[in-house]
A and B are shown apart, each in its own frame.
Chain A
Amino acid sequence: MSAAPSVLIKGGTVVDPSQGLHARRDVLISQGRIDAIADAISPQRSARVIDASGLIVAPGFVELHCHLREPGGSASETIESGSAAAAAGGYTTVFPMPNTNPVCDSPVVVKFLLGRAAEVRRARVVPIAAVTREQKGEQLADLGTLKAAGAGAFSDDGRPIMNAMIMRRALTYARMLGTPIFDHCEDLNLTADGVMHEGSVSLRLGLRGIPRSSEASMVARDCGLSHETGGHLHVCHVSNRDSIAAIRFWKDRGAPVTAEVSPHHLTLTDDAIAQGDGYDTSAKMKPPLCCEDDRRLLVEALEDGTIDCIATDHAPHAPATKDTLFNDAPFGIIGFESAFSVLYTAFVAPGRWRLDFLIEKMTSAPAKLMGAEWGTLKPGAAADLTLLEVGVERPFDLSSIRSRSRNSPWLGKAMLARPVGTLLEGNETFAHPALFPAGLSAARSLAPAAVS
């Protein structure tokens, strides 16, 4: 991307866990990179100034798990709408899963995604390529060639590799490339035709259940393979207590395993499906929401480092496809626009987490497990930033959404924080219309909120 003119972000509270910083600072951006962070920086004549007073200035969020649906699923999302949704959620780097049509299993598709992202310029898109051809779990894709084309990770995502030998080969091969395998852990035989967590709620609703073992047995299998081969396994969207135990077991033995957890698994349980009129398809996802005990243990696992970072699994589905019988609705919810708001409201506002902890798990933590230089405001780093308003109650509603889809369980809920501006390599990618009606470097329209 082309270098932007210098930008000065004035008056904000900089929270950058990568350098242990939480203080009132000005941030100077030159040539698309962080130039300086200091108490007070005078604007140069050429600099555009962003008034961040009363706002949090954080590194742009890093999303290791999302679905942008392009090519082949433009009714639900495109690179353009998905990148806009990411920017509106404070994200600057996103890893889209390869389950598109065609599947991202060839350099052509990787390059197409990178090309579209470069045209759109709303987010840094790092394609995840398929582990096996057409995600069929039978024959390895050309992993080295895919990496050379720009793929940042490999995954067959929701079509898990059921053949353990193929997974073992993939981990062995990916180790040579130094690229992780992102593992959607699910034993399809145990899932069968299940549509939600198997427990008292599924029993009450008469819906087919998915047992914890569907995920946990695959976590155990693949962590063991990772330990044996030395290949980096990243466990996607950990959802239950048994999977946590397996990850902890293998991490303790030195397996090169990392893991992510989603905002929905940290904040919701299977009871969400039974709320209201019941059979709420916006609470239908894989892995399914489990029970309160699982939710609580996921929070603790993120806190103690068993789980490394937060990822939303942003999974857009066109509105019509979710407005149907629970059994027929597709799995998944959107996550970009709501992630920070939901987690701040659930954990930071009540005092369970420090803001720094939340931001770390959305920035430097995912960047670190990828060995990448994103998610930091250290001088010289790419100027990926987000501006956050905290401590003011706002509804999360349709106006908050930039995605083509609106399958969110949080629509209509009150939130205590929201992203209000985003920059990618110094270029504005999102300016909240209420706060920055004429762009980030123009005058603000509202009095800033107090920052505690």
Chain B
Amino acid sequence: MREEVPAQVTTQISGLIPQPRSGPATLEHRHLLGVEHLSSEEIETILDLAAEYKRALVSRPDERLTTLRGRTVVNLFFENSTRTRTSFELAARRLGGDVINFDVATSSVAKGETLVDTAETIEALGADFIVMRHGASGSCNFLMRHVSASLINAGDGSHEHPTQALLDALTIREALGRIEGASISIIGDALHSRVARSAIWALTKLGARVTLAGPSTLVPIEFATLNVRVVHDFREAVQNADVIYLLRVQTERQAASFLPSLAEYRALFGMDGERLAQTKPDALIMHPGPVNRGVEVTREVMDSPRSRILGQVTNGVAVRMAVLTLLDQARLRREAASAARRAQK
């Protein structure tokens, strides 16, 4: 698991790692549980650092940094997600950290006790960061009370998936130049989507006008309390949208009568070539993946040059590098502060 980092390729990028500046260019959190509790300045800080990391990733792809040297990042995934786990792994390794993958995906949702037992085992290994994905909303909030490591939420039930939303925000910012004032429509099963919640928080905090669309069973009107517009008509949703963000629709929603059928979903809200023509000519099409091809989006749309459905891998790694770096800096500041307090006594 451990990867020795050759000294000759560890380069500190000068000026990249900010010393605690005045103002909000730091992240004063022990954990990243969600976007809800981040300020717009903190989100910008993460995106700014991610953008710098991305430039370096592109220009110097083999580089290893020393930012997380001596730190251990544990990926604790109670649900399978090769994509997200690999992205965190690449991010941590690039920063010079050690990575341990703890794959505990099970068919049933791991109970609280199991969760605490597993996390305690992991802490005994000396984990500094625990990156967790779990099927229950609030699982990170719960685990936070039982561990001393920094927790990074890689998706908890239907609650939040902050790094996915942040990487999507980075993608949108790159494409549009700015997020403030942009019209962004999120279409699909928002009710069960952690990505939707994190994206709503991130995009509204950054000043976007967000529209949620989908069947009324899956996009309840109460979403309007999150400062978004709720509509149930595809055309209304995509008119004037700069970005159209499609969410995965899962087959099990049919069984619970949220949907009559996937065919009907496709007929009312699916994005195909014809519907694409109803959108603004330069509107971006995004999807957090994995895609139900032929349900929420057709192959034709995915292959269109306006699609950002694939190819956001670099942004994912860059955003996760930024989050790890900023949380580690916050931790160093906390440790320095408590050492100073001890010295005073």
Q: Could you list which residues of chain A lie within 8 angstroms of chain B, going by C-beta atoms? A: 192, 198-200, 203-207, 277-279, 323-329
Shortest distance in angstroms between A208's beta carbon and chain B's nearest beta carbon? 8
Which residues does chain A contribute within 8 Å of B256, judged by CB atoms? 192
Which residues does chain B contribute within 8 Å of A327, judged by CB atoms? 109, 136-138, 157
Which residues does chain B contribute within 8 Å of A323, judged by CB atoms? 112
Report the Cα distance A205→B33, complex, angstroms.
12
Known: A203-B226, A326-B136. 15 other contacts (CB 8 A): A198-B222, A200-B222, A203-B223, A204-B197, A204-B226, A206-B138, A206-B156, A278-B138, A278-B141, A279-B137, A325-B111, A325-B139, A326-B137, A326-B138, A327-B109
**A203 and B225 contacting across the interface, CB-CB below 8 Å:** yes
**A326 and B223 contacting across the interface, CB-CB below 8 Å:** no
Which residues does chain A contribute within 8 Å of B197, judged by CB atoms? 204, 206
**A207 and B112 contacting across the interface, CB-CB below 8 Å:** no
Inter-chain residue pair count (beta carbon < 8 A) = 67
Report the Cα distance A203→B115, complex, angstroms.
24
Chain A, residue nearest B158 (CB): A206
Chain A, residue nearest B112 (CB): A324
Q: Is B159 an interface residue (CB 8 A)?
A: yes
Which residues does chain B contribute within 8 Å of A204, judged by CB atoms? 36, 197, 225-226
Which residues does chain A contribute within 8 Å of B145, judged by CB atoms? 277
24 example contacts (A-B, Cβ-Cβ < 8 A) are as follows: A192-B256, A198-B222, A200-B225, A203-B191, A204-B197, A204-B226, A205-B159, A206-B138, A206-B157, A206-B159, A206-B197, A207-B159, A277-B141, A277-B144, A279-B138, A279-B141, A323-B112, A325-B112, A325-B115, A325-B139, A326-B136, A326-B138, A327-B157, A328-B111
Q: Is B3 an interface residue (CB 8 A)?
A: no
Report the Cα distance A206→B190, complex, angstroms.
10
Which residues does chain B contribute within 8 Å of A192, judged by CB atoms? 256
Which residues does chain A contribute within 8 Å of B109, judged by CB atoms? 327
Report the Cα distance A326→B142, complex, angstroms.
8
B129-177 residues at the A interface, CB under 8 angstroms: 136-139, 141-142, 144-145, 156-160
Which residues does chain A contribute within 8 Å of B156, judged by CB atoms? 206
Shortest distance in angstroms between A187's beta carbon and chain B's nearest beta carbon? 15
Q: Is B93 an interface residue (CB 8 A)?
A: no
**A205 and B113 contacting across the interface, CB-CB below 8 Å:** no
Q: Known interface pairs A206-B158, A206-B194. Does A325 touch B226 (Cβ–Cβ under 8 Å)? A: no
B85-128 residues at the A interface, CB under 8 angstroms: 109, 111-113, 115
**A324 and B223 contacting across the interface, CB-CB below 8 Å:** no
Q: Known interface pairs A200-B225, A279-B142, A325-B142. Does A207 touch B137 (Cβ–Cβ under 8 Å)? A: yes
Q: Could you list which residues of chain B lie within 8 angstroms of chain A, going by C-beta atoms? A: 36, 109, 111-113, 115, 136-139, 141-142, 144-145, 156-160, 191, 194, 197, 220, 222-223, 225-226, 256
**B138 and A199 contacting across the interface, CB-CB below 8 Å:** no
Which residues does chain B contribute within 8 Å of A205, judged by CB atoms? 137-138, 159
Shortest distance in angstroms between A184's beta carbon and chain B's nearest beta carbon? 25
Shortest distance in angstroms between A198's beta carbon and chain B's nearest beta carbon? 8
**A203 and B137 contacting across the interface, CB-CB below 8 Å:** no
The residue among A205, A277, A323 with the most chain B CB atoms within 10 A of its own CB is A205
**B194 and A324 contacting across the interface, CB-CB below 8 Å:** no
Shortest distance in angstroms between A75's beta carbon and chain B's nearest beta carbon? 15
Report the Cα distance A200→B159, complex, angstroms.
13
Which residues does chain A contribute within 8 Å of B225, judged by CB atoms? 200, 203-204
Which residues does chain B contribute within 8 Å of A207, judged by CB atoms? 137-138, 157-159
**B139 and A203 contacting across the interface, CB-CB below 8 Å:** no
Which residues does chain A contribute within 8 Å of B222, judged by CB atoms? 198-200, 203
Which residues does chain B contribute within 8 Å of A329, judged by CB atoms? 112
Which residues does chain B contribute within 8 Å of A277, judged by CB atoms? 141, 144-145
Which residues does chain B contribute within 8 Å of A199, judged by CB atoms? 222
Chain B, residue nearest A193 (CB): B256
Which residues does chain A contribute within 8 Å of B141, judged by CB atoms? 277-279
**B136 and A325 contacting across the interface, CB-CB below 8 Å:** yes
Which residues does chain A contribute within 8 Å of B158, judged by CB atoms? 206-207
Report the Cα distance A326→B220, complex, angstroms.
22
Report the Cα distance A178→B118, complex, angstroms.
55
Which residues does chain A contribute within 8 Å of B112, judged by CB atoms? 323-325, 328-329
Report the Cα distance A203→B226, complex, angstroms.
9
Report the Cα distance A148→B141, complex, angstroms.
51
Chain A, residue nearest B196 (CB): A206
Query: Ordered nearest first, which 9 A-B pairs have the shortest CB separation?
Result: A324-B112, A279-B138, A206-B158, A206-B159, A206-B137, A200-B225, A278-B141, A325-B112, A325-B136
Chain B, residue nearest A320 (CB): B113
Which residues does chain A contribute within 8 Å of B191, judged by CB atoms? 203
**B160 and A206 contacting across the interface, CB-CB below 8 Å:** yes
Report the Cα distance A192→B217, complex, angstroms.
15
Chain A, residue nearest B200 (CB): A204
Report the Cα distance A277→B145, complex, angstroms.
8
Shortest distance in angstroms between A237's beta carbon and chain B's nearest beta carbon? 24
Shortest distance in angstroms between A211's beta carbon and chain B's nearest beta carbon? 10
Report the Cα distance A123→B220, complex, angstroms.
48
Report the Cα distance A277→B197, complex, angstroms.
18
Which residues does chain B contribute within 8 Å of A324, judged by CB atoms? 111-113, 142
Chain B, residue nearest A326 (CB): B138
Report the Cα distance A327→B139, complex, angstroms.
9
